[in-house]
Amino acid sequence: MQKRLLGNSRLEVSAIGLGCMGMSFSYGPPKDRQEMTALLRAAVEQGITFFDTAEVYGPFTNEELVGEALAPFRQHLVIATKFGFDLNPNFDPRGMKGAPGLNSRPEHIKEAVEGSLRRLKIQTIDLLYQHRVDSNVPIEDVAGTVKELIAQGKVKHFGLSEAGVKTIHRAHAVQPLTALQSEYSLWTRTPENDVIPTLEELGIGFVPYSPLGKGFLTGKMDEHTTFDSSDFRSTLPRFTPEALRANQALVELLGKIGQRKHATPAQIALAWLLAQKPWIVPIPGTTKLHRLEENNAAVAVELTAADLSEIDSAAAQITVLGARYPEKLEQMTGR
């Protein structure tokens, strides 16, 4: 597995990380703990050193899974987690019913970090993200609190998730950011407008989540695909039958390039991301060993300048149908 550095921080991670959310949360019922433990350890064996979780995944159970499974390998890994939600008793992860409110008050951040350290069975959080920007708390207070936690040795690196450019600048001025995590793929390209140039200017790494479009870019879905009510994709505008049908053009493009490169659509989608900037590290999630192997093999797929130009030209002719999230969740992004 190749390695990459996240921006000027010099934090070295595997070129592809592993998003762990779906093992416990959002994509249907939680998966078997023993099977997921085996998968996490297989990822380590395949050279993955970068693992992504959050307290809200479960809630809490994903951090516990990751902490227990990766404990024997801890010194060789980078584990990222996130704070920023009030996990109220009515929160139901099946379809995000009773979705938790945002909470990035300094005292809450400190409580969240203590809980994450305990569940992850670690002394220090390698990379701590604010999960979503809380408009009720000045970002300077958030960054200042994380700066204190870094001084105390409880956190090594600071990151934001789905933050806008102004927020990135303000946070970075208080405590330098190591990474921004936001959705980015061939069917979600909004970060290209101003976020990616800002990250390049400031020397901040970029960690795209849902780099395979929540599974869509694998080519395994069509308009007849249905989702269980416990799968949050059942609530997303981009996963209606109409949208799934209209957006197949992107999958067909990936498949066309893949045939020429002897690669799958998923591998082309990941290779395209890796080719955008040397400080971009996608974190595809999976619960299946063969998908893990498929995703990791994307680092060996070489896309030439001509390939990239062809993909960009063709993708520019495709209009993606459907919003990423329902309106309430969409409002939490880009702040």
pTM: 0.95
Angle at 299 between CA 19 and CA 11, to 5 degrees: 60
* Structure token digits, residue 177: 């950011």
Q: With contact defined as beta carbons under 8 Å apart, do 181 and 19 qualify?
A: no
Instruction: Find, among 67, 330, 68, the residue nearest to 183 by Cα.
Output: 330
Query: What's the pLDDT tens digit per position in 124-164?
Result: 999 999 999 999 999 999 999 999 999 999 999 999 999 99
pLDDT at 70: 98
Is residue 280 scored above 70 in pLDDT? Answer: yes
pLDDT at 93: 52
State the Cα–Cα distance between residues 170 and 185, nearest whole angstrom.
26
Altogether, the residues listed in the chain come to a count of 335
pLDDT at 173: 98
SS3 content of the chain, % helix, strand, coil (to 5): 45, 15, 35
Is residue 100 scored above 80 in pLDDT? Answer: no
Average pLDDT of the residues in 32-55: 98
Query: What's the pLDDT tens digit per position in 73-98?
Result: 999 999 999 999 998 656 555 444 55
Radius of gyration of the chain, Cα coordinates, nearest whole angstrom: 19
- Count of helices and strands (H, E) across the chain: 12, 9
Phi, psi of 239 (to 5 degrees): -115, 20
252-280 b/e (C-beta count within 10 Å ≥ 16 → b):
ebbeebbeeeebbbbbbbbbbbbbbeebb
Average pLDDT of the residues in 107-118: 98
Please provide the average confidence, as pLDDT, over all residues in the chain.
95
pLDDT at 95: 46
When pLDDT is cut at 50, 70 and 90, the band that residue 305 belongs to is: very high
Non-local CB neighbours of 91 within 8 Å, separated by 6+ positions: 59, 97, 98, 99, 100
* Domain ranges within the chain, ordered by starting residue: 3-330
Positions marked active-site: 57
Average pLDDT of the residues in 257-285: 98
pLDDT at 87: 84
pLDDT at 92: 56
Q: Which CATH number fits domain 3-330: 3.30.70.100, 3.40.50.10800, 3.40.50.2000, 3.20.20.100?
A: 3.20.20.100
Query: What's the pLDDT tens digit per position in 179-232?
Result: 999 999 999 999 999 999 999 999 999 999 999 999 999 999 999 999 998 899
